Amino acid sequence: MTYVFDTNSFRVMGNYFPARFPSFWATFNDFVDDGNVISVREVLRELDYQARQQHLQDWINNNGQIFLLPTPIETEFVSDIFAIEHFQALVSIKQRLKSTPVADPFIIASARIHGYCVVTEESLKPNAAKIPNVCAHFGIDCCNIETLMERESWEF
């Protein structure tokens, strides 16, 4: 299974300091090397603003190949997401005014087009425009890091 990571999941991983969680990082890096982890360019752009820990910044810099540009088909699906008025709230007014990166629709589109699973720390909330809600609407698999570890039988 290939997993498409959201910004907040990388940020959570920033709390897994390599000196304290070496087995996690070894397992995760092998998983990445096997092609099981990808993300999108907009996540990389969000992480430029949000990745605080030096070890996470270093990891991102060393693994830039996983942050992919959207394909034309993915971009087309982004427009399908925004065709649903309620899901237009994926992009906040603040993000529109400041022209800050917005990764959520591209993460969802990548997962939908390629049959991947989205990894996000957001929770399903009734009537919300959150990644899990959009995924549920379009029948896209979605989980958080803990569930990914459970699915892949990782124990540390």
Residue 153 counted as domain residue: no
**Within 10 A of 113 (CB to CB), how many other CB atoms are there?**
16
- For residue 13, give the CATH number of its domain: 3.40.50.1010
What local confidence, expressed as pLDDT, does residue 91 receive?
A: 87
Residue 7 counted as domain residue: yes
Name the one residue in this structure whose structure tokens are 């709230």.
89
What local confidence, expressed as pLDDT, does residue 97 receive?
A: 61
**124 pLDDT above the threshold of 70:** yes
What local confidence, expressed as pLDDT, does residue 83 receive?
A: 97
CA–CA separation, 46 vs 48, rounded Å? 5
Residue 156 counted as domain residue: no
Residue 154 counted as domain residue: no
Residue type present at position 120: T
CA–CA separation, 40 vs 76, rounded Å? 15
Residue 93 counted as domain residue: yes
In the chain, how many domains are there?
A: 1
What local confidence, expressed as pLDDT, does residue 125 receive?
A: 94
Digit-coded pLDDT (tens) for 51-107: 999 999 999 999 999 999 999 999 999 999 999 999 999 987 667 667 788 999 999
Q: Which domain holds residue 19?
A: 3-147
Residue 37 counted as domain residue: yes
Residues 37-55: what's their mean pLDDT? 96
Reported as a pLDDT band with limits 50, 70 and 90, residue 7 is very high
What local confidence, expressed as pLDDT, does residue 100 receive?
A: 81
pTM beyond cutoff 0.75:
yes
